[in-house]
């Protein structure tokens, strides 16, 4: 073998050796991990202490009763009058203060009647002091609906009780309307109706809201006995929607724009003619009565008794008449 051939063979052998890799090393077996420790059981928590029982609450002291505040000063109105809404305070105000006027102001809807004893006390005190008291009643809007004013010097019957202070303007009273119609006068009029009927403790100046326009009007009283309209005043003035007039007793009144003829509203009653008895007619009546008794049926006891009664009455009547004629 030539050197060249040998060298080639050697070369091929080396190449072959270099082409085959070495067998890799066998890796180490993995190690088994350590078994973790068993977890420890936690300690039981401490039982909390029982809370302390709170003390029983103490009953607080009763609060002190506050002092009664002083009564506020009673305000004066635009006329200088002392104003109150307490009826039973009027007499004390009249006697205990220097004010000459007291106004009692109340809501008409809340009541217009006052206890009799309270009113008597007011009017007696008013008469003694000679001062002035106004009873004012307001409507739902707070405006004056009507008022009554009394002067102490005009009080002549302080015990007269006013049962109700209510005043109704533009009232519809059938008897009054008939009386106005009977006058035959075409007039604008308005009836003023008072809930109280009867005498007043003294002259009252009444101011009431009306529907007639502002002007001077006639003022009439309707007499329920005679059914006449009686003129009270011909110069009552309506101003700013209010009429003011004076009365001494309460009934129904008329405000009229025209003068009315005071004429009865009903036909006059037919009078029974007087029977004149003479001695002759007296004897005839007595004979007739006795004859009626004598001829009455004895079997009819009721008729007999009635006849006797008639005869006795006739004799008594004729005897009285005879005495008067002699």
- What is the token pair recorded at 26? 């066998």
Reduce the secondary structure of the chain to three states and give it as a string. CCHHHHHHHHHHHHHHHHHCCCCCCCCCCCCCCCCCCCCCCCCCCCCCCCCCCCCCCCCCCCCCCCCCCCCCCCCECCCCCEEECCHHHHHHHHHHCCCCEEEEEEEHHHCCCCCHHHHHHHHHHHHHHCCEEEEEEECCCCCEEEEEEEEEEEECCCCCCCCCCCEEEEECCHHHHHHHHHCCCCCCEEEEEEEEEEEEEEEEEEEEECCCCCEEEEEEEECCCCCCEEEEEEEEEEECCEEEEEEEEEEEEEEECCCCCCCCCCCCCCCCCCCCCCHHHHHHHHHHHHHHHHCCCCCCHHHHHHHHHHHHHHHHHHHHHHHHHC
Q: To the nearest whole percent, how much of the chain has pLDDT over 90?
A: 52
Confidence tier at 276 by pLDDT (50, 70, 90): very low
- Whether pLDDT at 188 is above 50: yes
Please check whether residue 130 is in contact with residue 136, taking contact to mean a CB–CB distance below 8 angstroms. Answer: no
pLDDT tens-digit series, residues 4-52? 554 554 455 555 455 556 677 777 777 777 777 777 777 777 777 777 7
pLDDT tens-digit series, residues 216-232? 999 999 999 999 999 99
Mean pLDDT score, 147-152: 97
- Whether pLDDT at 178 is above 50: yes
- What is the token pair recorded at 10? 């050697």
Cα separation, 319 vs 285, whole angstroms: 11
The pLDDT of residue 320: 42
pLDDT tens-digit series, residues 69-96? 544 444 555 556 899 999 999 999 999 8
The pLDDT of residue 76: 52
Q: What residues are paired with 312 via a beta bridge? A: none
Residue with tokens 């006329």: 79
């Amino acid at each position: 073998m030539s050197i060249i051939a040998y060298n080639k063979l050697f070369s091929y052998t080396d190449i072959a050796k270099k082409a085959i890799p070495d067998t890799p090393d066998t890796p180490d077996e993995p190690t088994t991990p350590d078994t973790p420790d068993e977890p420890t059981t936690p300690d039981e928590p401490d039982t909390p202490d029982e809370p302390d029982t709170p003390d029983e609450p103490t009953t607080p002291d009763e609060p002190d009763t506050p002092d009664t505040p002083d009564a506020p000063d009673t305000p004066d109105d635009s006329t200088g009058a002392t104003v109150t809404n307490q009826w039973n305070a009027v007499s004390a105000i009249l006697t205990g203060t220097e004010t000459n006027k007291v106004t009692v102001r109340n809501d008409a809807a809340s009541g217009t009647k006052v206890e009799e004893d309270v009113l008597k006390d007011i009017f007696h005190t008013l008469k003694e002091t000679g001062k002035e008291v106004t009873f004012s009643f307001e409507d739902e809007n707070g405006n004056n609906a009507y008022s009554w004013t009394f002067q102490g010097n005009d009080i002549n019957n302080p015990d007269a009780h006013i049962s109700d202070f209510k005043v109704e303007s533009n009232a519809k009273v059938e008897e009054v309307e008939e009386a106005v119609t009977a006058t035959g006068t075409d007039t604008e009029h308005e009836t003023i109706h008072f809930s109280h009927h009867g005498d007043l403790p003294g002259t009252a100046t009444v101011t009431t809201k009306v529907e007639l326009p502002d002007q001077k009007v006639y003022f009439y009283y309707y007499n329920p006995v005679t059914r006449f309209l009686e003129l009270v005043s011909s110069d009552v003035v309506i101003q700013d929607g209010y009429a003011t007039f004076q009365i001494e007793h309460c009934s129904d009144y008329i405000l009229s724009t025209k003068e009315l003829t005071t004429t009865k509203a009903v036909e006059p009653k037919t009078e029974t003619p007087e029977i004149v008895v003479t001695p002759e007619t007296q004897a005839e009546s007595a004979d007739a009565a006795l004859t009626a008794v004598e001829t009455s049926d004895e079997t009819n006891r009721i008729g007999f008794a009635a006849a006797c009664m008639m005869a006795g009455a006739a004799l008594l009547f004729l005897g009285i008449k005879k005495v008067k004629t002699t």
